[in-house]
Amino acid sequence: MVIHNLRIHQGDKIAFIGESGCGKSTLLDMLAFIAQPSYSEIFNFYLQHQSSINIAVEWQRKHLDPLSQLRKRYIGYVMQTGGLLPYLTVKENILLSREILDLPLEDEIVFQLINDLKLERHLKKSPAVLSIGERQRVAIARALSHKPKIVIADEPTASLDPYSAKVVMELFINLAEQFNITLIIASHDWQPLKSFGLHRYYLHTSYSENLTETSII
Ligand SMILES: Nc1ncnc2c1ncn2[C@@H]1O[C@H](COP(=O)(O)OP(=O)(O)OP(=O)(O)O)[C@@H](O)[C@H]1O
Ligand SMILES: [Mg+2]
């Protein structure tokens, strides 16, 4: 995958659109400092009132701890597979990022997320007994509960029926706007997203004999 000149600013709402296998999840993992780019000329993360952090150098020097600290503090991630911890209840999953960051567990945003995403009656359950769509709603609540600066979401409503997908996406985007969260969504389908004012990038893939190359246009 080749990325030229991608700049994402605080409060942006963007969607990466592309067919299955084109590299959406891989790109999101790189943006979340989970996957190491094989080569990067410039990869900077800018914090307000501070100089930039050179992510490319952090990876080269294998500084995994600072990268993981940045991720915990600034990024919420809704993984394609949900990524909920099976040995924690729904409520514990939602509170996990707040606990890791030593934030008070009872906070207005937690109540709002539980209420808006209609999770009240599931709080004491294990994720294993929830439907896939319910798990996606818990994953969205978990990604937002510590009010991160950035939320990255990989096909966050793919398992929902079209009506529920629209309702949950609307809620998700409203919550992100309310807290001025930068929103980065990947999806194979632009249609259900197009009414939400996201900036769209296409992942264009070209295939040759033994090389697949994806670029962002
Ligand atoms: N670390 C890796 N090393 C080599 N190939 C990889 C690695 N990670 C992912 N790939 C490959 O890159 C391609 C893109 O995978 P990715 O999961 O990013 O696609 P995707 O666009 O998210 O697809 P989907 O819409 O099906 O979720 C796949 O062929 C995958 O096998
Ligand atoms: Mg994917």
Question: Which pLDDT belongs to residue 153?
Answer: 95
Decide if pLDDT at 122 tops 80.
yes
Task: Please work out whether the CB of residue 23 comes within 6 Å of at least one atom of ligand 1.
Answer: yes
Residue 36 class from Cβ within 10 Å (0-12 exposed, 13-18 middle, 19+ buried)?
Answer: middle
> Residue 171: which pLDDT band, with cuts at 50, 70 and 90?
confident
In this structure, which residue's CA is closest to atom 7 in ligand 1?
A: 26
Ligand 1, atom nearest to 80 Cα: 27
- Residue 30 is assigned to a structural domain of this protein: yes
Task: Please work out whether the CB of residue 26 comes within 6 Å of at least one atom of ligand 1.
Answer: yes
Decide if pLDDT at 120 tops 90.
yes
Domain with residue 150: its CATH number is 3.40.50.300
Q: pLDDT tens-digit profile of 138-168?
A: 999 999 999 999 999 999 988 888 888 888 8
- Residue 8 is assigned to a structural domain of this protein: no
Decide if pLDDT at 200 tops 90.
yes
- Residue 1 is assigned to a structural domain of this protein: no
- Residue 5 is assigned to a structural domain of this protein: no
Averaged confidence pLDDT in the chain: 90
* Ligand 1: centre distance to CA 79 (Å): 14
Decide if pLDDT at 115 tops 80.
yes
- Residue 109 is assigned to a structural domain of this protein: yes
> Residue 206: which pLDDT band, with cuts at 50, 70 and 90?
confident
* Mean pLDDT for the stretch of residues 124-132: 95
* Mean pLDDT for the stretch of residues 199-211: 82
Q: Which residues constitute the domain of residue 83?
A: 13-216
Instruction: Count the domains in the chain.
Output: 1
Q: How far apart are CA 33 and CA 160, in angstroms?
A: 28
* Ligand 2: centre distance to CA 131 (Å): 20
* Mean pLDDT for the stretch of residues 195-212: 83
- Residue 173 is assigned to a structural domain of this protein: yes
- Residue 6 is assigned to a structural domain of this protein: no
Q: pLDDT tens-digit profile of 4-14?
A: 789 999 999 99
Question: Which pLDDT belongs to residue 67?
Answer: 94
* Ligand 2: centre distance to CA 185 (Å): 11
> Residue 82: which pLDDT band, with cuts at 50, 70 and 90?
confident
Q: Look at 39-43, 64-68, 129-133, 161-165 and tell me which has the smallest mean pLDDT.
A: 161-165
Decide if pLDDT at 54 tops 90.
yes
- Residue 4 is assigned to a structural domain of this protein: no
For a ligand 1 pocket test, name from 25, 27, 59, 159 the mutation site with the most ligand atoms within 8 angstroms of its C-beta: 25
